[in-house]
């Protein structure tokens, strides 16, 4: 099977979707001729023409707002926000409009859009190229929120997102674009070409939104993770020798609660990890759900490991990033609790 980087997988998902469905339109800042600052849309304008892949003005609200109008018309726009840190100007259009259009019009108008954006830190991008705003979307009824962790999933999930009849926020952990980064920033990253999840089949396939994947079977403790933190958790498990069951959520909303509950009932312990700031992060929802649904099985409090409650700093990137040492410590503490 061909191996692809995550960038290639994402590009391939759009390519496949554009080839199959004329209604799929791709645009965003620097997305057209140049192919995006991360090159995710490279070649699409040449292949499908300027009508279907083009540069947008620097206006995130305009990009998402116009996409909503296109979706109401009957197209299926898949737009890019250059960094998740720049999604806020579009937040009103996403929250007040895209998320509620079907509901408020009782299916008269719908909004099948995908808003793609690179997320997460680890590239010395400072506070405006590092954020993980997923919890700001999971609180909003009417949205779906997806965070792939590897090329195989990224392609299948993105095609599913494009085909989904409702708005999907698609967060791409940029630190994973080229390989499965595990938080050991001093080590070179294995490229996707050397990783089995870099295997990306040609042509059309989907991964259903709302289904988690177990990345490591284990019996001692359940780790709930997504995106980059899946690899950090794997490293932490390996380094502590703790037999963790690592669940890659893939879709945060709808959430695969069944998979989570089954695992925690088995292990009796749970550690939640994410890169976003701790307070009111998506980990809070996960911890709340786990204790609600597994209370009588829990042998220790659900622990959360997350970015600190500060803006993402530049120089102290690795002190901020919840790397394998911090996750490992939480695993040990949870086992000892």
Ligand X SMILES: Cc1ncc(C[n+]2csc(CCOP(=O)(O)OP(=O)(O)O)c2C)c(N)n1
Q: Which residues are catalytic?
A: 129
Nearer to another protein, 33 or 201 (CB): 33
Sole window of 145-153, 196-204, 262-270, 313-321 interacting with another protein (rule: CB under 8 A): 313-321
> Among 13, 67, 237, 294, which residue interacts with another protein (rule: CB under 8 A)?
67
The pair of structure tokens assigned to 98 is 């895209």
The CB-of-21 to its own copies minimum distance in angstroms stands at 29
Contacts of 245 (CB under 8 A, 6+ apart): 214, 216, 217, 218, 219, 220, 221, 222, 223, 263, 266, 267
Binding flag, residue 175, another protein (CB under 8 A): no
Q: Report the C-alpha gap between 71 and 302 in whole angstroms.
A: 41
d(CA 64, CA 294): 39
Which residue bears the tokens 């998979």? Answer: 259
Q: Tell me how far apart the alpha carbons of residues 160 and 93 are, in angstroms, rounded to a whole number.
A: 22
Binds another protein (CB under 8 A): choice among 142, 148, 156, 328: 142
Residue 304 binds another protein (CB under 8 A): no
Distance in Å, CB of 283 to its own copies, minimum: 7
127 touches another protein (CB under 8 A): yes
- Could you tell me whether strands 244-248 and 213-216 are parallel, antiparallel, or unpaired per DSSP bridges? antiparallel
| Of 295 and 315, CB closest to another protein | 315
- The least distance separating another protein from the CB of residue 219, rounded to whole angstroms, comes to 26
Unique residue bearing structure tokens 């998740």 = 84
Q: How far apart are CA 288 and CA 76, in angstroms?
A: 35
Give the residue carrying structure tokens 């749970």: 270
- Per DSSP (E only), the strands in 81-179 are 114-119, 144-146, 168-173
Number of alpha carbons in the 13 Å side-chain half-sphere of residue 12: 24
As given in the structure block, the two tokens for residue 78 are 């898949």
**Which CB atom, from 143 or from 200, has the smaller least distance to another protein?**
143
Number of chain residues interacting with another protein (CB under 8 A): 76
Nearest approach, Cβ of residue 58 and its own copies (Å): 13
Cβ at position 62, least distance to ligand X in Å: 11
Pick between residue 197 and residue 249 the one whose CB is nearest to another protein.
249
Residue ranges that bind ligand X, judged by CB under 6 A: 29, 58, 82, 86, 89
Q: Indicate the length of the chain as a whole number.
A: 337
Q: Give whichever of 31 and 242 is closer to ligand X, judged by the CB atom.
A: 31
């Amino acid at each position: 099977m061909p191996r692809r980087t995550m960038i290639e997988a994402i590009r391939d998902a759009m390519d496949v979707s554009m080839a199959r469905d004329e209604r799929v339109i791709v645009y965003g800042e620097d997305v057209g001729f140049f192919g995006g600052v991360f090159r995710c849309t490279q070649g699409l304008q040449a292949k499908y023409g300027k009508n279907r892949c083009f540069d947008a003005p620097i206006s995130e609200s305009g990009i998402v707002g116009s996409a909503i109008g296109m979706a109401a018309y009957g197209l299926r726009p898949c737009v890019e926000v250059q960094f998740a840190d720049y999604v806020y100007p579009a937040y009103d259009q996403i929250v007040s409009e895209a998320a509620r259009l079907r509901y408020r019009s009782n299916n008269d108008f719908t909004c099948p859009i995908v808003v793609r954006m690179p997320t997460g830190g680890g590239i010395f991008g400072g506070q405006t190229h590092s954020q993980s705003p997923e919890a700001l979307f999971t609180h909003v009824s009417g949205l779906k929120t997806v965070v792939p962790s590897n090329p195989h999933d990224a392609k299948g999930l993105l095609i599913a997102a494009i085909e989904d009849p409702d708005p999907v926020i698609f967060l791409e952990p940029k630190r994973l674009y080229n390989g499965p980064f595990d938080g050991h920033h001093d080590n070179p990253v294995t490229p996707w070409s050397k990783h089995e999840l870099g295997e990306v089949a040609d042509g059309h396939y989907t991964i259903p939104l709302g289904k988690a994947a177990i990345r490591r079977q284990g019996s001692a403790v359940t780790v709930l993770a997504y995106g980059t933190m899946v690899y950090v958790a794997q490293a932490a498990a390996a380094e502590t020798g703790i037999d963790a069951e690592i669940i890659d959520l893939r879709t945060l909303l709808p959430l695969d609660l069944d998979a989570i509950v089954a695992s925690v009932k088995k292990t009796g312990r749970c550690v939640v990890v994410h890169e976003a700031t701790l307070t009111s992060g998506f980990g809070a929802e996960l911890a709340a759900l786990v204790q609600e649904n597994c209370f009588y099985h829990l042998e220790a409090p659900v622990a959360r490991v997350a970015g600190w409650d500060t803006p993402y700093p530049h120089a102290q990137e690795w002190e901020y990033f919840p790397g394998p040492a911090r996750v490992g410590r939480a695993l040990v503490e949870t086992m000892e609790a």
